Amino acid sequence: MQTGNPSGPIWFSVGEASGDLHGAELMKAFRAVDPDVPFTGMGGPAMEAEGLVPRHSMREISLVGITEILGGLPRILKLLGVIRKELAALRPRAIVLVDCPEFNFRIARMAKKLGIPVYYYISPQIWAWRSGRANFLRDFVRKVICILPFEKDFYAKYGMDVAYVGHPLMDVLPLDLLDGLPVRENRIGLLPGSRTKEVTSLLPVFAGAARRLAVDHPGLEYVLVRAPGMDESLLRSLWPEDIPVSFVSPAERYQVFRTCKLIMAASGTVTLETALIGTPVLVAYKVSPLSEMIGRMLINVRYVSLPNLILDREIYPEYIGRDASPENLARTARSWLDDPEAYGEIKNGLKVLRTMVGDPGAPGRAARIILDDLEALASASG
């Protein structure tokens, strides 16, 4: 029987900025039911602002790509050893994993050995590659909580106890306010990623595209939304001095997204944020050549960005690996700037997508599922 300490904290394991955002919303939802529930574990600034007592920073596991993960493996294994000792001593009431499967699967394994119930919120995108890992989740996680409409059917094939709650972004995004903001026809947004590796790979590509667009669109203005914890001096060092750019904080991101004509962005959760807000995006991503080669062999979905996966068609052009070039990005950006019909088709598709991701209230539904299951466990063991 899995049962943690009923009076212990809920331990979160979060490894990236989007997970920090969703973890914070789930913490709010837990507190709406139980105002005194304590939280600890690994997270980021948004979760700490909601009361997480951090034992580790999510920056400790912020790695990209297969070869990059391998390079950081000794440090991660040492961290996992520390966490195992902490879990054994603390015996939290439950563990909530948020995405980040390469790390969190190891947490799930050690938690089961310790008899601590595990819940997976923001289920990992194993439908994209190595789908057999669903068998691991079935054996080591009490409940998987899905936020994408097609995930429930995927996990059901593996005989899993899975719940679909809708996407928590519908609670985070102030869509009524954003829908009323005007689009600036000459504004292009830049979202080069939340990790240093992403930024150093992609921002020079975005700059190269901007330089090409300046030839026939000299009036464009660029605005870069800095990811939480990202060093602005690094961003400035990667952008040419002769192309004007403004930098804004993460707190202003949604208003900026809405007012941009288009955005060049790293692949990630931010592409769904921009899609729900209604702004066309050019999606780019770069990893090491070896990671790209392995990824192309293993990935079993047609697209990498969530809007395309949900709609099952390429509404956001994707430029991955060697295709992520200044020439390709500038070419498509130019077509959107110059062809109102092509641009309008993208905008109309984004309106459809917004109807497909569920109603607001996903964090509350997820919190209720977890707390109800913990109560059932406590009753069964009592």
Residue range 39-45: average pLDDT?
95
Q: Is 227 helix (H, G, I), strand (E, B) or coil?
A: coil
CA 24 distance to own-chain centroid: 13
Residues 182 and 317 in one domain: yes
Task: Pick left, alpha or beta for residue 358 (phi over 0 → left; psi -120 to 50 → alpha; otherwise beta).
Answer: left
1 contacts 112 by C-beta, under 8 angstroms = no
Residues 219 and 328 in one domain: yes
Q: What percent of the chain has pLDDT over 90?
A: 68
Residues 220 and 286 in one domain: yes
Residue 91 pLDDT greater than 50, yes or no: yes
Domain contains 1: no
Residue range 364-370: average pLDDT?
97
Torsion 25-30-36-41 (CA) sign: negative
Residues 299 and 335 in one domain: yes
Question: Where in the sequence is the domain holding 85, given as residue range(s)?
Answer: 10-168+361-381
Residue range 73-77: average pLDDT?
83
Domain contains 286: yes
**What pLDDT is stored for residue 75 in this prediction?**
83
In whole angstroms, give the CA distance from residue 199 to residue 17: 14
In whole angstroms, give the CA distance from residue 224 to residue 240: 13
CA 376 distance to own-chain centroid: 31
Residues 154 and 250 in one domain: no
Residues 347 and 227 in one domain: yes
Residue 307 pLDDT greater than 60, yes or no: yes
**What pLDDT is stored for residue 151 in this prediction?**
87
Residue 262 pLDDT greater than 90, yes or no: yes
Mean pLDDT of the chain: 90
Residues 209 and 338 in one domain: yes
Residue 25 pLDDT greater than 50, yes or no: yes
Residue 183 pLDDT greater than 50, yes or no: yes
44 contacts 18 by C-beta, under 8 angstroms = no
Measured CA angle at 363 (ends 64, 198), to 5 deg: 15
Residue range 328-351: average pLDDT?
97
DSSP string spanning 32-54?
A: HH-TT--EEEEE-HHHHHTT-EE
**What pLDDT is stored for residue 219 in this prediction?**
93
**What pLDDT is stored for residue 345 in this prediction?**
96
Residue 38 pLDDT greater than 50, yes or no: yes
User: Domain count of the chain?
Assistant: 2
Residue 182 pLDDT greater than 50, yes or no: yes
Residue range 184-197: average pLDDT?
93
**What pLDDT is stored for residue 67 in this prediction?**
44
Residue 293 pLDDT greater than 70, yes or no: no
Residue 310 pLDDT greater than 50, yes or no: yes
Q: Which pLDDT band, with edges at 50, 70 and 90, does 85 fall under? A: very high
**What pLDDT is stored for residue 64 in this prediction?**
46
Domain contains 4: no
Using one digit for the tens of pLDDT, what is the confidence trace for 6-22? 778 999 999 888 889 89
Residue 364 pLDDT greater than 60, yes or no: yes
Q: Side chain identity at 64, as an amino acid letter?
A: V
DSSP string spanning 97-137?
A: EES-HHHHHHHHHHHHHHT--EEEES---TTTS-GGGHHHH
**What pLDDT is stored for residue 295 in this prediction?**
57
Residue 66 pLDDT greater than 50, yes or no: no
Domain contains 124: yes
- The CATH number of the domain holding residue 197 is 3.40.50.2000
Measured CA angle at 329 (ends 324, 333), to 5 deg: 160
Range with the poorest average pLDDT among 86-95, 260-269, 286-295, 353-362: 286-295
| Reported pTM | 0.80
Residue range 327-332: average pLDDT?
98
Q: Which pLDDT band, with edges at 50, 70 and 90, does 65 fall under? A: very low
Residue 276 pLDDT greater than 50, yes or no: yes
Task: Give the tokens for residue 214.
Answer: 């300046």
Domain contains 131: yes
Residue range 335-347: average pLDDT?
97
Domain contains 3: no
Q: Which pLDDT band, with edges at 50, 70 and 90, does 298 fall under? A: low
Residue range 170-192: average pLDDT?
95
Residues 210 and 314 in one domain: yes
Residue 341 pLDDT greater than 80, yes or no: yes
Q: Which pLDDT band, with edges at 50, 70 and 90, does 302 fall under? A: confident
Closest by alpha carbon to 264, among 287, 239, 282, 249? Answer: 282
Residues 376 and 334 in one domain: no
